[in-house]
Amino acid sequence: MKKYIGFDLGGTNLRAALVDVESGQVMRNKSIPTLAREGHEAVMQRIASLALELISQSGLTPQDIGGIGIGVPGVLDLEKGTVVFLPNLPGRWEHVPLRQRITDLTGIRTSLLNDARAITYGEWKYGAGAGADTVAVFTIGTGVGGGLIINGQLHLGIGGTAGELGHTVIDHNGPRCGCGNAGCLEAYASGPAITAQGIKAVVQGLTTSIGKMCGYDLNCITPELIANAAREGDAIAASIYEQAGFALGITAGNICTALSPSRIIITGGVSRVGPLLLDPMKRTMLERVTTMPIERVEVVQSTLGDNAGVAGVACWAASHAQE
């Protein structure tokens, strides 16, 4: 059976993985710097070279590869196979024909998918979402992404834009979000949002150990440091995660009311704090959802970790190989 390659196109690193799409197992992987400042054409050349290098190191030829899938951290036109824009890479990549360019450079059919949707697909196929019919996924890190599985299908919506759960509005008078809107979940529960609350607490001189733990260097405040302070009994640090979990619970509750998923999966670097974030999230869902059996919705952490995206997008490429 042919193997597939899944790519994670990150602002810092490019990662390619050879994936067995029957099991989701990552058989071999390789990562190199993205060097995004060199422009999109140089990055696409690096993607193609990395793919061919991984194939060669695996003792295979391009003919042994059924397809390449690329998880892209931005807005895509899936029908055209182009990048609409990438907010976190230099140059924004407006209307770049990524799918066709990689196909031309490698001779291997290529598919694209938003990176959070790739994670969603991977967790549903091989990880924490396996066996569930309807699933919502929140990816919580530098931003808050998401994805939806509805009736056993990855829900893409118009042009593949469905599932941006981090940009649902929970307070129309809330803080400005990076997307240009105000009061999005991302403005409350992302890593930078949590960090900003920690910095604010120190600057305001509140009674908290956060400042002492970072030597009063505000640049050293991170979500992990705030979590450590909370675990040591710091009430201010705990309240920061309480607020983030509340915002996450409001959004998840709205998703439950609309779609009644059987499972919600939380993933991404910030999610690793576990109960600090998930307990207030679950409590808020139970308090705020009244029209569906919210107690039957499982809230779980991901099981695939960093492999979810590359496994998911490789499987996505396999599912579109014959189109």
On whether the CB atoms of residues 34 and 44 are closer than 8 A, the answer is no
Model confidence at 240: pLDDT above 80: yes
Least confident of 90-99, 113-122, 124-133: 90-99
Model confidence at 1: pLDDT above 90: no
Model confidence at 323: pLDDT above 60: no
Q: What does pTM read for this prediction?
A: 0.94
Q: Span 48-74, mean pLDDT?
A: 96
Q: How confident is the model at residue 179 (pLDDT cuts 50, 70, 90)?
A: confident
pLDDT tens digit string along 126-140? 999 999 999 999 999
Rounded CA-CA distance 51/32 in Å is: 11
Task: Work out the burial of residue 172: count CB atoms within 10 Å of its CB; fewer than 13 is exposed, 13-18 middle, 19 or more buried.
Answer: exposed
pLDDT for 235: 98
Least confident of 72-86, 181-195, 214-228, 286-300: 72-86
Phi then psi for 296, rounded to 5 degrees? -90, -5
Model confidence at 220: pLDDT above 80: yes
Which CB contacts under 8 angstroms, 24+ apart, belong to 217-222?
A: 221/195, 222/191, 222/195
Q: Which residues contact 38 (CB under 8 A, 6 or more apart)?
A: none
237: left (phi over 0), alpha (psi -120 to 50) or beta: alpha
Question: What are the b/e assignments for 116-153, b being 16+ CB within 10 Å?
Answer: bbbbbbbbbbbbbbeebebbbbbbbbbbbbbbbbeeee
Which residue is associated with the tokens 């071999």?
Answer: 28
Model confidence at 234: pLDDT above 60: yes
Mean predicted lDDT score pLDDT of the chain:
95
pLDDT for 40: 94
Domains and CATH numbers, the chain: 3-121+306-319 (3.30.420.40), 131-301 (3.30.420.40)
pLDDT for 283: 98
Model confidence at 86: pLDDT above 90: no
Model confidence at 322: pLDDT above 70: no
On whether the CB atoms of residues 173 and 159 are closer than 8 A, the answer is no
pLDDT for 13: 93
